[in-house]
Amino acid sequence: MDINIRKCRSDDLEELRTIAYETYDETFRPMNKRATINRYLAEAFDRKKLAAELANPACHFYFLFADEQLAGYLKINEAPAQSDLNDPQSLEVERIYVRKAYKGKGLGAHLLHFALQLAEEMQKRSVWLGVWEKNTEAIAFYKKMGFNEAGRHTFRMGNELQSDWIMKKMVSPED
């Protein structure tokens, strides 16, 4: 399988909205109430909101192509765009999603390795992410990739507050 990753541009907005909405919906709809997921999807992937994130120099989106087909995407944040820690020495992986048809092919690991490589290039000490405590499959994946639980935070999903694990991996030693 030929794999390519490229940074998203402002003219990728509609394609980004489509894959972001689709992958989030297929991942979390079965685990949430209909009204909750519908509200979250409408808010999180609102065209203006997503365009502002694309324009933010501290937010970085990347498309992953498998055999020239859009198979997944990644969103990473530097401080102060991070959703929680706002640590200038870290990089947040806010979103990492692969389309259902491409799951089980190692593409999620490919995206995560790419994020870790970017963190090293940016001279960050660590990479962190939030993962819903009920998403046991993702937690197992992140543990396998060398991430450890480093705390908890609250995540708003529609009208509900959910508990996320904050998981972290060091990419360079602390001084």
Q: Does pLDDT of 53 surpass 60?
A: yes
Q: What is the pLDDT of residue 172?
A: 82
The model's pLDDT over 108-146, given as tens digits with 9 standing for 90+, comes to 999 999 999 999 999 999 999 999 999 999 999 999 999
Q: What is the pLDDT of residue 174?
A: 62
Fold of 3-170: Aminopeptidase (3.40.630)
> Do residues 72 and 97 make contact, with C-beta atoms less than 8 angstroms apart?
yes
pLDDT confidence of 175, banded at 50, 70, 90?
A: low
In sequence order, the 6+-apart residues with CB closer than 8 A to the CB of 32 are: 40, 157, 158, 160
Task: In whole angstroms, give the CA distance from residue 66 to residue 36.
Answer: 32
Residues tagged active-site: 142
**Scanning the structure block, which residue is given the tokens 């001279």?**
123
The model's pLDDT over 21-51, given as tens digits with 9 standing for 90+, comes to 999 999 999 999 999 999 999 999 999 999 9
The Cα-based distances of 124 to 41, 82, 116, 156, 172 in angstroms read: 31, 14, 9, 27, 7
